[in-house]
Amino acid sequence: MQNSLFSSKATATAVAVVNALVSAGALRADPAAAPADSANNPNSAEALPTVIVSGQQESRTLPLPKLSQPLIDTPQSVDIVSQQTMNEQGDTTLRDALRNVAGISLAAGEGSSQGDNLTLRGFTARNDLFLDGMRDFGSYYRDPFDLREIDVLEGPSSVIFGRGSTGGVINQESKTPQVGAFASGDLTIGTDSTRRVTADVNEPLPDFAPGAAFRFNLMGDEGGVADRNDAENRRMGVAPSLALGMGTATQLTFSFYHQSEDDVPDYGLPWYFNRPAPVARDNFYGFTDDYLRADVNVGTIEVDHEVNGNFTLIDQLRYANYGRDFRISEPQILAGTATLTTPLSAITINRNEISGSSVESLFDDQADATVKFATGEVAHTLVFGVEAARETSDPTRYAFTGVPGTNLVAPNENQAFSGTASVSTKVDTTAATLAGYAIDTVELGRNWELMGGFRIDRFDADYAQFVAPSAAFVQIEDMPSWRGAIVYKPLANGSIYIDAGNSFDPSAETLSLSAANANTPPEKNLTFEAGTKWDFASHKLSLRSSVFRTEKTNAREPDPTDPVLNVLGGNQRVDGVELDGTGHLTDRWDLRAAYALMDSEVVSSVYYPAAVGAPLANAPKNTFAAWTTYRLPGGLEFGGGGNYVGPRDASATVPDDPTTGLLKQVPGYWVFNAMIEYPISKHLVAQVNLDNLENRTFYDEPHPGHVVMGPGRSAQFSLKFKY
């Protein structure tokens, strides 16, 4: 492999560093000092819950200052993917971890944006990714090496997060310094030349400052993709963090996150009329020198100050920089070049080159205050704050001529790339956000709670295109958001709630504008949800169910009478039911399961009435996820589970294929995985993960222009250590 970010030398260096620290006494070989945020440490008061879903601990709240109530009393569907679950499953990407959440489906990268692209409750969540409560909008594939959990908040949440969040948001929670000393990590090898190393070192620094501790996370990962010739993923990352004043009234935390990647990207198979091309699943239609390179740097300072038991202040200041450079081949069967009777071997694939470079940045400050007070017999928890952010994006994109095509049945990825590039667009966008919010939760006796929240955002975007025809646009939007809920607690271990809220999507949401949408008002979204959450057997069994309706009341559509304009002319809706359960059924047996039923459709369309009744893009009607583990006497542990994702359309508005009269669709699929773990000693564990046990062919990430295959059968062997 070329330009490797991970090698045997890197592995040896990482292990040597950890061993040197242990030998020097900087890290104490004390199993009781295991990570405080590790779900494998039941003795820690700060141990994470070993679950995927919410509601298993009545006293626990999410690590988000804007959500002040325990999860069981939070009137919203919240799914949690814990660090333990990610470790058991051997997850090495955010996408794989999110397969545990029903209602989420994966989508392929867009032409202008690569990296993680998700659909949540039937609506795209590409721009609804957050890191520790702050926007994480870079186009890269996220590795969970520095995550202690992933929180999925479902339903429109602009009152908390600002623009976007039609279907919800995904919030990544970083690992932070802890009180006790520990070191842990793993070495992994696997099929498809997979190699991975991680290390997690935490050391208290009492001589440096009161309540001080330093934590360092390291990751190197390299490998191919099962049954996808030539696709390669190479990543490395470091994440140091320093905390001061832990256990005191004022805590200061400095953190830095770096991840870089250098991939041979895979845009999968072409569409053959309305279905994926019926060819071998290992066909690769790109060039071996295609590339996707990303460089991510995120620095954060957080101050937590407890004025007294009823008044807390938190301020987060962040600067993030996202660099990206890419050239990716999208395989296409051009219209008019083939018919249903044309032999597959006679069809030539056009390689649509998607190429460019960009640097995005974020400068953001969020200040939050939590105040608890009473008005007579009524108790209040008031959370309020302000946010000021500046985002920039300066992508340059290229168009190519002279790119050689290849054969549909027998593509040649080793062809020399002979395309000639020219700059097609050169853009500079700056967007400023200024927002203020307040959320009040009112306790009316022991059984009732009322929650109401309001936020106002000013979103000011300046866009300039420097390549002819040059253009410049300004969009300023002042948008209010609200949320309200009623919670009834018939018993201390359960709640029933009704919730409603809204969100908005401005045209410049993705830091892009054009003549088509510069003057188009924001899309507006509304959700209604009713649900119930229950904990049983001292929080060993947790159940959640909800029904919801999310509606986009004015979806943007191209104006057919003026193709350079977009208008608000559509209505889209998703009705759904979700069922989640997790349980420590015995001291040895854990079980987690989640199911979502979604009925999505284009309700109305002013200009495209033929689309009415069609399901929304990448919105499967049924999704299901389950994972279970069982520990035998002696420590041997078995785990297994599966995922089901129903059929999905690639688009809800693109016209039917003119030959078949059907929309592009991928079939549904089941995939099953397994795990075996064996403790070699109290410090060392061996783990084997087997993914896609039946080696099923499935289509994982649809896009209107191409479809990405899911990986075939694979196996990984890991040695995990903990001191």
Which segment, 386-390, 513-517, 605-609, is predicted with the most confidence on average? 386-390
- The yes-or-no verdict on residue 340 having pLDDT over 90 is yes
Give the number of other CB atoms < 10 A from CB of residue 132.
21
What distance in Å separates the CA atoms of residue 643 and residue 646, rounded to the nearest whole number?
A: 10
Beta strands 471-488; 494-505: pairing state: antiparallel
Under the banding of pLDDT at 50, 70 and 90, the label for residue 554 is confident
- The yes-or-no verdict on residue 11 having pLDDT over 80 is no
- The yes-or-no verdict on residue 565 having pLDDT over 80 is no
> What is the pLDDT at residue 276?
96
What average pLDDT score do residues 164-180 get?
A: 94
- Which is more confidently placed, 659 or 676? 676
Instruction: Please say whether the dihedral angle defined by the alpha carbons of residues 415, 416, 421 and 427, taken in this order, is positive or negative.
Output: positive
> What is the pLDDT at residue 338?
93
> What is the pLDDT at residue 38?
42
Contacts of 452 (CB under 8 A, 6+ apart): 439, 440, 482, 483, 484, 485
Where residue 248 sits, what CATH number does that domain have? 2.40.170.20
> What is the pLDDT at residue 560?
61
Beta strands 348-375; 378-393: pairing state: antiparallel
What distance in Å separates the CA atoms of residue 691 and residue 709, rounded to the nearest whole number?
A: 15
What distance in Å separates the CA atoms of residue 427 and residue 614, rounded to the nearest whole number?
A: 35
- The yes-or-no verdict on residue 133 having pLDDT over 90 is yes
Q: Which of 178, 149, 175 is nearest to 239 (CA)?
A: 175
> What is the pLDDT at residue 12?
44
Q: What is the pLDDT of residues 261-286, one digit of tens each?
A: 999 999 999 999 999 999 999 999 99
> What is the pLDDT at residue 10?
39
- The yes-or-no verdict on residue 422 having pLDDT over 60 is yes
For residues 154, 322, 134 and 238, what is the CA-based torsion angle, rounded to 10 degrees?
A: 100
Under the banding of pLDDT at 50, 70 and 90, the label for residue 570 is confident
Residue 667 lies in a domain: yes
Contacts of 587 (CB under 8 A, 6+ apart): none
> What is the pLDDT at residue 111?
62
Residue 2 lies in a domain: no
How is 100-131 classified by DSSP, letter by letter? TSTTEEE-PPPSS--S--EEETTEE-TT-EEE
> What is the pLDDT at residue 516?
76
Q: Which of 179, 263, 185 is nearest to 10 (CA)?
A: 185
- Please state, in angstroms and as integers, the Cα–Cα distance from residue 83 to each residue in 80, 175, 672, following that order: 10, 10, 20
Segments forming the whole domain that contains residue 160? 8-722
- The yes-or-no verdict on residue 56 having pLDDT over 50 is no
What average pLDDT score do residues 68-78 get?
A: 91
> What is the pLDDT at residue 4?
43
- The yes-or-no verdict on residue 55 having pLDDT over 50 is no
What average pLDDT score do residues 534-554 get?
A: 90
Under the banding of pLDDT at 50, 70 and 90, the label for residue 645 is very high
Under the banding of pLDDT at 50, 70 and 90, the label for residue 374 is very high
Residue 12 host element (H or E): helix 8-24
Contacts of 7 (CB under 8 A, 6+ apart): none
Residue 81 lies in a domain: yes
What average pLDDT score do residues 56-70 get?
A: 72
What distance in Å separates the CA atoms of residue 591 and residue 36, rounded to the nearest whole number?
A: 23
Residue 118 lies in a domain: yes
What average pLDDT score do residues 548-560 get?
A: 82
Residue 3 lies in a domain: no
Q: What percent of the chain has pLDDT over 70?
A: 89
Mean pLDDT (the chain) is 88
Q: What percent of the chain has pLDDT over 90?
A: 74
> What is the pLDDT at residue 58?
39
Residue 426 lies in a domain: yes
Neighbour-count burial of 633, counting CB atoms closer than 10 A to its CB (0-12 exposed, 13-18 middle, 19+ buried) = exposed
Under the banding of pLDDT at 50, 70 and 90, the label for residue 566 is low
What average pLDDT score do residues 647-656 get?
A: 80
What average pLDDT score do residues 102-110 get?
A: 87
Tokens for 534? 């229950």
Residue 10 host element (H or E): helix 8-24
- Which is more confidently placed, 680 or 507? 680
- Which is more confidently placed, 461 or 606? 461
The separation between CA 196 and the C-alpha centre of its own chain, rounded to angstroms, equals 21
- The yes-or-no verdict on residue 384 having pLDDT over 90 is yes
The C-alpha angle 110, 114, 116, rounded to 5 degrees, equals 100
Beta strands 129-131; 168-174: pairing state: parallel
- The yes-or-no verdict on residue 563 having pLDDT over 60 is no
Q: Is 335 helix (H, G, I), strand (E, B) or coil?
A: coil
Could you give the number of structural domains in the chain? 1
- Which is more confidently placed, 119 or 58? 119
> What is the pLDDT at residue 656?
72
Phi–psi pair at 621, nearest 5 degrees: -70, -35
Q: What is the pLDDT of residues 526-536, one digit of tens each?
A: 999 999 999 98
> What is the pLDDT at residue 1?
41
- Which is more confidently placed, 156 or 463? 463
- The yes-or-no verdict on residue 46 having pLDDT over 50 is no
Q: Which of 138, 87, 86, 114 is nearest to 263 (CA)?
A: 114
What average pLDDT score do residues 91-97 get?
A: 96
Q: What is the pLDDT of residues 489-512, one digit of tens each?
A: 999 999 999 999 999 999 888 888
Instruction: Please say whether the dihedral angle defined by the alpha carbons of residues 139, 141, 146 and 149, taken in this order, is positive or negative.
Output: positive
Q: Which of 97, 151, 142 is nearest to 235 (CA)?
A: 142
Residues linked to residue 429 through DSSP beta bridges, in sequence order: 393, 463
Residue 136 lies in a domain: yes
Give the number of other CB atoms < 10 A from CB of residue 307.
12
Residue 57 lies in a domain: yes
- The yes-or-no verdict on residue 303 having pLDDT over 60 is yes
> What is the pLDDT at residue 654?
65
Q: What is the pLDDT of residues 682-709, one digit of tens each?
A: 999 999 999 999 999 999 999 988 999 9
- What are 563-568's contacts with CB under 8 Å, separation 24+? 563/516, 564/515, 564/516, 565/515, 565/516, 565/520, 566/507, 566/516, 566/517, 566/520, 567/520, 567/606, 567/607, 568/520, 568/521, 568/523
